[in-house]
Amino acid sequence: MSKTIREAYGESLLKYGKDDPRVVVLDADVSTSTRSLVFAKGCPERFFNMGIAEANMVGAAGGMAACGKIVFVNSFAVFLSTLGLLSARAFGSYSGLNLKFMGAYGGLSDAYDGPSHHSVEDLAIMRALPHFKVFVATDEHQVDWLVKTAIDTDGPVYIRLSRDSLPEVYSKDTKFEIGKGQILREGKDLTILACGVMVGQALKAGEMLAAQGISARVVDLFTIKPIDRPLILESAEKTGLMVSAEEHSVIGGLGGAVAEVLAKAGSPAKLACVGLEDTHAETGAYPQLLKKYKLDADAIVAQALGGLQK
């Protein structure tokens, strides 16, 4: 059984941060949930619980970053991208300070806390901020790379994390690169571009389509910003039909980023988007929510088949 994304994050944060005195960690009273608690236990002198005050937390993080610290700011994704937005814009985007926003419980993964805690617009918000790099974690091995890369990369970063465990897509030796997607399955009839929890669903959809004689390329576009423009355009030219799949609103997230690339290049490729259709979700079990809001392999297959028939 793979680790949960949040457990992998906590372990990696301590692993790479414990011997770097520049790394400090802030949390908004949810460290047992975000698992920044792991760092707090290992390096208590560099951990600060800021209470349920996300806006103040990000402001304080800006002050620490201005003093030369690499600051990991932790809370649920929905609160970092809303209550923390003004300071993210002023101190991260505008001032270029070394702030690392770790958005826990992304998408619908905070299932039972309902729409007030679901994060279905964070990617659209954070990728709109100039100079921010934006990523969505796919599995525990990628989380490890993302934490190290956040420390090694100067400037503001937003990383969306899930609550639960996700299928292991990669090995600990997989090499990643900022701005470069990963081709996980080759195909010639269409391309599925996915991120986060939807990567596993995209691979499953690829198998389902193959059983019907349809060849689907599957790409993990975990690096939302900068986006892998060459890979998107190469896939569009090769397969024609593109299907984006994300645990996010269809407005402004991964699908929006792909649409921008295709439109700017004048690509004739067709694009279908799998995501939440301009709605909030309900309270309920996580797997049931994903199924109800068509964030699964069946939904990807349906969009693929519909696009191929047009």
Residue 36 CB contacts under 8 Å (≥ 6 apart), including other chains: 10, 13, 25, 27, 47, 72, 74, 102
In whole angstroms, what separates CA 174 from the centre of its chain?
18
Q: How confident is the model at residue 1 (pLDDT cuts 50, 70, 90)?
A: low
Active-site annotation holds for 168: no
CATH 3.40.50.920 applies to domain 182-309 = yes
Q: How far apart are CA 8 and CA 165, in angstroms?
A: 9
Task: Classify 105 as helix, strand or coil.
Answer: coil
Q: Name the strand (E) or helix (H) holding 262.
A: helix 254-265
* Choice among 7, 11, 54, 140 that is catalytic: 54
pLDDT digits (tens, 9 = 90+) for 43-70: 999 999 999 999 999 999 999 999 999 9
Contact call for residues 306 and 294 (beta carbons, < 8 A): no
| CATH fold for the domain made of 5-160 | Rossmann fold (3.40.50)
Strand order in the sheet with 270-276: 182-185, 216-220, 190-194, 241-249, 270-276
Q: How far apart are CA 196 and CA 30, in angstroms?
A: 22
- H helices of 18-95, in order, are 31-34, 37-42, 54-66, 77-80, 85-87
Q: How far apart are CA 1 and CA 29, in angstroms?
A: 29
pLDDT digits (tens, 9 = 90+) for 116-151: 999 999 999 999 999 999 999 999 999 999 999 999
Q: How confident is the model at residue 309 (pLDDT cuts 50, 70, 90)?
A: confident
Which one-letter amino acid corresponds to residue 181?
A: G
Per CATH, 5-160 and 182-309 having the same topology is answered yes
For the whole prediction, is pTM greater than 0.85? yes
pLDDT digits (tens, 9 = 90+) for 235-274: 999 999 999 999 999 999 999 999 999 999 999 999 999 9
Residue ranges per domain, the chain? 5-160, 182-309
